[in-house]
């Protein structure tokens, strides 16, 4: 009766097999976790780019306040991507790791997992608190308008159906006169103005690297005053005076618009923003004064709000 003599397997053969299995498992883990994380880091690294893709479709900020808004926007996207990568990674891990491997196998049925339930209850609450904290800090930064740090200029903005009127002060500014925005005292002794009509889009001039406060008024309905390049807008509400400050950081020409549906001719509520040097700003005010567009007080509504040259009839403008 014959038999086959088998050579004894050396210890080195078993060690080699274990090493190979270990390397195989290591490669699987590397592909499972390393590739998604590398892809996520590659996507997040684009946020440091100053291109439109790096800003995640947000306009390049042309104001100091707008930079805070951009930082919040990019931070929110980074947090969203990290959360998404972790969630997607866990989903794919569970699907692959605990998949059914044959027809006779029944996966373990887990009714509950107390630590996991505590985690996915507390983690979202912590995330909301962090997001809320960053949002409040950004809001406080962009809305900072303290009497201890007065603006260089004050522009009285009137939004009326369906255009804008910009009132610029002449001479020295009296900051104390602007403390109560509901009284009849204004920070300048006289004003020049540029008001839009149904056929004329008004121009708003601002000096670069100077802080300008906008006092926003409306005599009719709610409007919304905003400039996309500044990454800032605010409601213009009848019966109250909202305000905020802007510090343009670069010269250029930008578009502004009303962001609140305010009636039939809402689409006409456009204006052009010119950020210029101080000399050009003063020259623009002088040009308005030479053209006779002057008044002792700013035009903030009343009968001026219903004079819309360029429309077919007076009744249609109301």
Domains of the chain with CATH codes:
18-100+112-142 (no CATH), 153-309 (2.60.40.420)
User: Contact at 8 Å (CB) between 264 and 221?
Assistant: no
The stretch 271-299 carries a mean pLDDT of 93
List the beta strands (DSSP E) in 77-217.
153-160, 163-170, 190-195, 203-207, 212-217
pLDDT > 60? residue 43: no
The stretch 103-117 carries a mean pLDDT of 79
The stretch 267-282 carries a mean pLDDT of 94
Confidence of residue 95 (pLDDT cuts 50, 70, 90): confident
Looking at the DSSP assignment, which residues form a beta bridge with residue 275? Answer: 206, 252
Confidence of residue 85 (pLDDT cuts 50, 70, 90): very high
Kindly report the pTM of this predicted structure: 0.72
The pLDDT score that the predictor gives to residue 304 is 52
pLDDT in tens, 126-145: 999 999 999 999 999 888 88
The stretch 167-179 carries a mean pLDDT of 82
Confidence of residue 239 (pLDDT cuts 50, 70, 90): confident
User: Contact at 8 Å (CB) between 202 and 165?
Assistant: yes
pLDDT in tens, 146-158: 877 889 999 999 9
pLDDT in tens, 58-76: 778 899 998 999 999 998 9
* Sequence-ordered list of residues with C-beta below 8 angstroms from that of 66, at least 6 positions apart, any chain: 142, 229, 230, 231, 232
Confidence of residue 311 (pLDDT cuts 50, 70, 90): very low
Average pLDDT, the chain: 80
pLDDT > 80? residue 78: yes
The stretch 182-208 carries a mean pLDDT of 88
Which 8-state DSSP code applies to residue 280?
H
Q: Report the C-alpha gap between 245 and 214 in whole angstroms.
A: 6
The pLDDT score that the predictor gives to residue 187 is 87
The stretch 85-113 carries a mean pLDDT of 83
Half-sphere CA count of 202, side-chain side, radius 13 A = 23
The pLDDT score that the predictor gives to residue 287 is 94
């Amino acid at each position: 009766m014959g038999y086959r003599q088998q050579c004894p397997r050396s210890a080195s053969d078993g060690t080699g097999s274990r090493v190979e299995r270990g390397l195989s498992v290591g490669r699987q883990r590397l592909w499972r976790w390393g590739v998604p994380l590398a892809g996520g880091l590659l996507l997040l690294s684009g946020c440091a780019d100053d291109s439109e893709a790096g800003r995640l479709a947000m306009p390049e900020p042309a104001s100091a306040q707008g930079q805070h808004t951009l930082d919040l926007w990019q931070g929110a996207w980074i947090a969203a991507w990290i959360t998404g990568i972790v969630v997607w990674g866990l989903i794919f891990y569970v699907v692959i790791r605990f998949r059914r491997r044959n027809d006779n196998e029944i996966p373990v049925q887990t009714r509950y997992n107390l630590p996991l339930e505590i985690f996915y209850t507390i983690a979202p609450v912590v995330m909301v608190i962090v997001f809320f904290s960053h949002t409040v800090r950004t809001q406080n930064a962009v809305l900072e308008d303290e009497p201890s740090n007065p603006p260089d200029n004050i522009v009285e903005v009137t939004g009326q159906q369906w255009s804008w009127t910009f009132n610029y002060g002449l001479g020295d500014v009296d900051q104390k006169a602007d403390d109560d925005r509901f009284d009849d005292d204004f920070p300048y002794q006289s004003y020049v103005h540029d008001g839009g009509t149904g056929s004329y889009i008004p121009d708003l001039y601002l000096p670069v690297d100077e802080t300008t406060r906008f006092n926003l008024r409306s005599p009719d309905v709610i409007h919304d005053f905003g400039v996309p390049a500044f990454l800032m807008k605010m409601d213009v509400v009848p019966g109250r005076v909202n305000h905020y400050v802007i510090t343009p950081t670069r010269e250029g020409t930008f578009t502004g618009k009303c962001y609140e549906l305010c009636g039939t001719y809402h689409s006409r509520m456009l204006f052009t923003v010119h950020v210029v040097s101080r000399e050009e700003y003063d020259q623009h005010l002088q040009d308005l004064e030479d053209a006779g567009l002057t008044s002792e007080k700013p035009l903030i509504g009343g009968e001026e709000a219903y004079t819309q040259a360029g429309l077919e009839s007076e009744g249609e403008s109301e």
